Amino acid sequence: MQASSNLLNWILWTPFIGVIGVLLIPKSKENLIRWWALVNTAITFVLTLVLYSKFDTSVPGMQEAFNVKIPWISSFNIFYNLGVDGISLPMIILTGLLFMLCILSSWTVTKQIKGYFALFLFLQTTVFGVFFALDFFLFYVYWEVMLIPMFFLIGIWGGENREYAAVKFFLYTFFGSILMLVGMVALYYASGKGVDSFSILALQGGRFSDLTIELFGTTLSFSKLFFIFLFIGFAIKVPVFPFHTWLPHAHVQAPTAVSVILAGVLLKMGTYGFLRIAFPIFPGASVHFADAIAWLGLINVIYGAFCAMAQTDVKKLVAYSSVSHMGFVMLGLAAMTVTGMNGAVLQMFNHGTSTAMMFLLIGILYERSHHRWIVRPDGSKGFGGLYTQLPKFTIIFIIAMFASMGLPGLSGFISEALIFLGIYEKYTTITVLALIGLLLGAAYLLWMFKRMFFGDVIEECKSYTDMNAREIAFMVPLCVAVVVFGIYPSPVLNVMRASVGKLVSMLATY
Site residues for other proteins per CB under 8 A: 73-75, 140-141, 144-145, 147-148, 151-152, 155-156, 162-163, 166-167, 170-171, 174-175, 178-179, 181-182, 185-186, 188-189, 213-216
Q: How many CA atoms lie within 13 A of 235 on its CB side?
A: 22
Comparison of 152 and 449: residue with beta carbon closer to other proteins: 152
Shortest distance, position 144 Cβ to other proteins, whole Å? 5
Three-state SS at 145 = helix
* Minimum distance, C-beta of residue 175 to other proteins, in the bound complex (Å): 5
Q: What amino acid occupies position 368?
A: R
Q: Are the CB atoms for 243 and 342 separated by under 8 Å?
A: no
**DSSP codes joined into one string, 214-236:** EETTEEEEHHHHHHHHHHHHHHH
| Nearest distance, CB of residue 35 and other proteins, angstroms | 24
Nearer to other proteins, 39 or 181 (CB): 181
* DSSP secondary structure letters along 32-81: HHHHHHHHHHHHHHHHHHHHHHH--TT--S--GGG-EEEEEEGGGTEEEE
Nearest distance from C-beta of residue 147 to other proteins, angstroms:
7
Separation CA 276–CA 280 (nearest Å): 7
CB of 41 to other proteins, least distance (A): 23
Nearer residue to other proteins within complex by CB, 239 or 489: 239
**Cα atoms found within 13 Å of the Cα of residue 265, Cβ hemisphere only:** 32
From the CB of 143, what's the least distance to other proteins, in Å?
Answer: 9
Distance of alpha carbon 488 from alpha carbon 496, whole angstroms: 15
Query: Smallest distance from the beta carbon of 118 to other proteins, in angstroms?
Result: 12
Task: Indicate the residue among 198 and 453 with the shorter CB distance to other proteins.
Answer: 198
**Whole-number CA gyration radius for the chain:** 22
| Nearer residue to other proteins within complex by CB, 148 or 483 | 148
Instruction: Give the H or E element holding residue 280.
Output: helix 279-281
* Residue (99 or 169) nearer to other proteins, CB: 169
- Are the C-beta atoms of residues 230 and 273 closer than 8 Å to each other? yes
CA 96, chain centre distance (Å): 13
- For helices 490-508 and 88-105, angle between their N-to-C axes, nearest 10 degrees: 140
- Dihedral, CA atoms, 197, 202, 203, 209, nearest 10 degrees? -120
Q: In this structure, are residues 114 and 77 in contact, taking their beta carbons and an 8 Å threshold?
A: no
In the complex with other proteins, the residue whose CB is nearer, 140 or 402, is 140
- State the nearest-atom distance from the C-beta of 169 to other proteins, in Å: 11
Is residue 485 within 8 Å of residue 351, measured between CB atoms? no
Q: Which helix (H) or strand (E) holds 73?
A: strand 68-73
Shortest Å, Cβ 150 to other proteins: 12
By beta-carbon proximity to other proteins, the closer residue of 98 and 235 is: 235
Between 220 and 287, CB nearer to other proteins:
220
To the nearest 10°, the Cα dihedral for 275, 276, 282, 283? Answer: 50
* Strand (E) or helix (H) holding 78: strand 78-82
How far apart are CB 13 and other proteins at their closest, in Å?
14
Among 5, 147, 3, residue whose Cα is nearest residue 82: 5
Angle between helices 290-310 and 428-453 (to 10 degrees): 20
Closer to other proteins by CB, 104 or 203: give it: 203
> Least distance from C-beta 156 to other proteins, angstroms?
6
225/506 with CB nearer other proteins: 225
